[in-house]
């Protein structure tokens, strides 16, 4: 049987549908999303929750001329499926396949790219203002979740939008979940709006009366709207959106097309900024995702019938070892407090929360605030640990410099997902933090070669008098024992693993193990190669570097980070500052945005496999030898 979905190449193909047909299409979209993500993994929960919203938006608006701007873009799988990407959908998040987020090169319907939360309103407002300045007439609609509305920059945009009074629609997709249950006073306020029956009944009664009044076009209609607003305010207090200058429609059932479509139509003709408050359910229509929304935010492959995750038994992840270690240490030290910016599950701080609820803070998607909040905690004598993905700490750069480092406060930044991240792709790669942190005075930066060393560094970092950034990668560790007592580690000292006269490889993090492999391969061809586990990027270990310079004819650095500004750059600067002229080769990632796909694929592509590194080092060493003979 052919499905409705198979006949949809673009939204034009369903704009004539009846609501019953749209409902059937929604059902088919859900089935397709579940069946596909069960194989590929992906952001299933948010996408299931936004199916009707997406259909209604494309139904009412003339996309792509009208612009729909999705916040983050992780909820837009149905949008991909109805805008010509049905055939490629099973490649989502796979190498060279569709992105898990929106990409302008994929479709003219993708008008904005993101991955980080809270950018949609600013981007959409820019488009709406450009429209007005150029005399164009398209509509701009922004779809933002209640979670993303905890991001400060979303409110910076609301502030300007309410002030400019620009024609633009903001759909608040409120499922009361961020990845975890949403937190904060604003989240509570949305819940109150959703559930205040008295307010709603009065408002609906007034709306019904006012809607029955005749409506005329142009200035008369605008006058009519003003009268309605005045009447509203006279009878019931405005909500926060109304106070900020928005027309508020809601709450509306975000799964009920018979409500959504007329609300969107009304919003479309409103001459100023509108907020539509749509209530949705994360994971809607797939029981396991409805029941376990946190797990189904962005799972890997799972079994459709049971919702059971298909992950093979792996070693504990770095995040798990980090959280367990922090709990161990927090049991001994009452000054340790932990902070997450809406990532309790990803950072595994949910375990810390279960053990020390009063010493745990989820601040929402508010990385900037988290960093400065940590500064305040540290100023008053506590030991704050802000566990944050490398990519999201980018948000808090000024706060790291201005509030934490400038005041020399002992905040520990536990930088998770440092390195390549796989399926999330370009917006999420953790390959810039060394470059952006290395330039900040006072901060010390470390990375262990494995999870056992990470434990030792956590303990030592908590004794430092100033700010520390401790990086660790995504995914499982090496399966090393992590239960015993934590061995002390000498702060600031690299670890010599081997000495060699021809070449010393200075490697950072798990790349140390790759360096050892390269050493073995080069040895097999007669080269004498040493390896240093750098451990510290800032400050560099002067003693180790001085000795490496003396012992070896050449240096090679190795890191899973952008070559520009990374660990290798630090070593090159160290040599230049001392006017040491010696051959040095920097191995790391190139100056490009790196898409989604397996980490190993990209390490191979950029010649960072053990084979490629050996080949390059071999050729280089023989050129150096030939040069010195000449």
Ligand X SMILES: Cc1ncc(C[n+]2csc(CCOP(=O)(O)OP(=O)(O)O)c2C)c(N)n1
Please give the positions annotated as active site: 282, 367, 395
Report d(CA 61, CA 56) in Å as an integer: 8
Minimum Å distance from CB 295 to ligand X? 13
> What's the Cα-to-Cα distance from 456 to each of 356, 485, 566, rounded to whole Å?
22, 10, 23
Cβ at position 478, least distance to ligand X in Å: 27
Q: How far apart are CA 48 and CA 41, in angstroms?
A: 14
CB within 8 Å of 13: residues ≥ 6 apart: 7
Q: Which CB sits closer to ligand X, 266 or 394?
A: 394
**Comparing C-alpha atoms, which of 611, 179, 616, 606 is closest to residue 420?**
606
Nearest distance from residue 309's CB to ligand X, in Å?
19
Cα-Cα-Cα-Cα torsion 322, 326, 327, 331, nearest 10 degrees, comes to 160
To ligand X, the closest distance from the beta carbon of 27 in angstroms equals 20
Output the furthest CA–CA distance in the chain (Å, rounded): 95
CB 388 within 8 A of CB 343: yes
Shortest Cβ distance from residue 307 to ligand X (Å)?
18
> Can you read off the two tokens belonging to residue 475?
């995914």
Dist CA 150 CA 390 (whole Å): 20
Q: Which two tokens stand for residue 609?
A: 């496999």
Q: How many CB atoms lie within 10 A of CB 215?
A: 13
Rounded to whole angstroms, how far apart are CA atoms 167 and 138?
10
Token pair 């002390």 in the structure block, residue: 488
Closest to ligand X by CB, 186 vs 270, is: 186
Q: How distant, in Å, are the alpha carbons of 10, 43, 78, 472 from that of 101?
A: 18, 9, 12, 25
**Locate tokens 């990407």: which residue?**
85
Kindly state the tokens that stand for 13: 């193909």
Closer Cβ to ligand X, 68 or 570, answer by number = 68
CB 500 to ligand X: min, Å: 43
Distance (Å, whole) CA 82 – CA 10? 6
Residue 337, SS3 per DSSP: strand
Applying CB under 6 A, the residues found at the interface with ligand X are 46, 49, 72, 74-75, 116-117, 145-148, 173, 175, 177-179, 282, 341-342, 365, 367, 392, 395
**Residue 387 host element (H or E):** strand 383-389
State how far the Cα of 593 lies from the Cα of 429, in Å rounded to an integer: 8
Task: Report the alpha-carbon distance of residue 410 to residue 463 in Å, rounded.
Answer: 9
Task: Indicate the pairing of strand 444-447 with strand 468-471.
Answer: parallel
Closest contact distance (angstroms) between CB of 187 and ligand X is 9
Q: How far is the CB of 150 from ligand X (least distance, A)?
A: 8
Is 367 or 559 the residue whose CB approaches ligand X more closely? 367
Residue among 449 and 471 whose Cβ is closer to ligand X: 471
Nearer to ligand X, 343 or 515 (CB): 343
Nearer to ligand X, 127 or 365 (CB): 365
Could you check whether the bond before residue 539 is cis, i.e. omega within 30 degrees of 0? Answer: yes
Q: Residue 367 is inside which H or E element, if any?
A: helix 367-379
- Of 417 and 538, nearer to ligand X (C-beta) is 417
């Amino acid at each position: 049987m052919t499905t409705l979905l198979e006949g949809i190449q673009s939204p034009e193909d369903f704009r004539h549908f009846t609501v019953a047909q749209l409902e059937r299409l929604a059902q088919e979209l859900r089935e397709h999303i579940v069946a596909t993500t069960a194989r590929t993994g992906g952001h299933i929960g948010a996408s299931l929750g936004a199916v009707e919203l997406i259909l209604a938006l494309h139904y009412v608006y003339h996309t792509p001329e009208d612009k729909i701007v999705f916040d983050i873009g992780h909820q837009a799988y149905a949008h991909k499926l109805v805008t010509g990407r049905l055939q490629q959908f099973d490649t989502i998040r796979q190498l060279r396949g569709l992105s898990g987020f929106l990409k302008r090169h994929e479709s003219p319907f993708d008008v904005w790219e993101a991955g980080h939360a809270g950018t949609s309103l600013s981007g959409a407002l820019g488009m709406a203002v450009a429209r007005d300045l150029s005399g164009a007439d398209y509509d701009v609609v922004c779809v933002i979740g209640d979670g993303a509305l905890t991001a400060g920059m979303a409110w910076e945009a609301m502030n300007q939008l309410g002030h400019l009074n620009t024609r633009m629609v903001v759909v608040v997709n409120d499922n009361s979940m961020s990845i975890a249950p949403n937190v904060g006073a604003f989240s509570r306020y949305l819940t109150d709006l959703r559930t205040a029956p008295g307010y709603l009944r009065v408002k609906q009664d007034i709306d019904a009366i006012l809607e029955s009044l005749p409506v005329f076009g142009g200035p008369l209609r605008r006058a009519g709207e003003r009268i309605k607003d005045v009447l509203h305010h006279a009878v019931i207090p405005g909500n926060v959106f109304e106070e900020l200058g928005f027309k508020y429609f809601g709450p509306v059932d975000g799964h009920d097309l018979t409500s959504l479509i007329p609300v969107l139509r009304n919003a479309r003709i409103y001459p100023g900024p509108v907020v539509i408050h749509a209530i949705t359910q994360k994971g809607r229509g797939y029981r396991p995702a409805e029941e376990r929304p946190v797990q189904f935010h962005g799972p890997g492959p799972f079994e459709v019938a049971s919702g059971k995750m298909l992950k093979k038994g792996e070693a504990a992840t770095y995040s798990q070892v980090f959280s367990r270690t922090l709990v161990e240490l927090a049991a001994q030290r009452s000054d340790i407090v932990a902070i997450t910016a809406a990532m309790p599950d990803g950072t595994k701080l949910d375990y810390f929360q279960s053990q020390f609820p009063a010493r745990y803070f989820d601040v929402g998607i508010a990385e900037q605030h988290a960093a400065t909040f940590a500064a305040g905690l540290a100023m008053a004598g506590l030991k704050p640990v802000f566990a944050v993905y490398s990519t999201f700490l980018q948000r808090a750069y000024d706060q790291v410099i201005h509030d934490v480092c400038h005041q020399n406060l002992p905040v520990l930044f536990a930088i998770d997902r440092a390195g390549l991240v796989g399926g999330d792709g370009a917006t999420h790669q953790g390959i810039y933090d060394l470059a952006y942190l290395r330039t900040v005075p006072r901060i010390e930066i470390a990375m262990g070669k494995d999870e056992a060393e990470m434990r030792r560094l956590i303990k030592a970092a908590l004794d430092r008098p100033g700010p520390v950034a401790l990086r660790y990668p995504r995914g499982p560790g090496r399966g090393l024992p992590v239960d015993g007592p934590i061995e002390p580690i000498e702060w600031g000292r690299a670890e010599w693993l081997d000495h060699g006269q021809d070449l010393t490889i200075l490697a950072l993090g798990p790349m140390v193990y790759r360096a050892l492999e390269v050493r073995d391969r080069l040895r097999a061809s007669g080269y004498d190669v040493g390896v240093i586990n750098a451990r510290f990027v800032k400050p560099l270990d002067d003693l180790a570097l001085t000795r490496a310079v003396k012992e070896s004819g050449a240096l090679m650095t190795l890191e899973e980070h952008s070559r520009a500004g990374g660990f290798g750059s630090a070593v090159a600067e160290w040599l230049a500052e001392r006017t040491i002229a010696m051959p040095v080769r920097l191995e790391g990632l190139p100056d490009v945005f790196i898409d989604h796909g397996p980490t190993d694929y990209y390490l191979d592509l950029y010649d960072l496999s053990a084979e490629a590194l050996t080949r390059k080092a071999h050729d280089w060493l023989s050129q150096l030898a030939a040069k010195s003979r000449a």
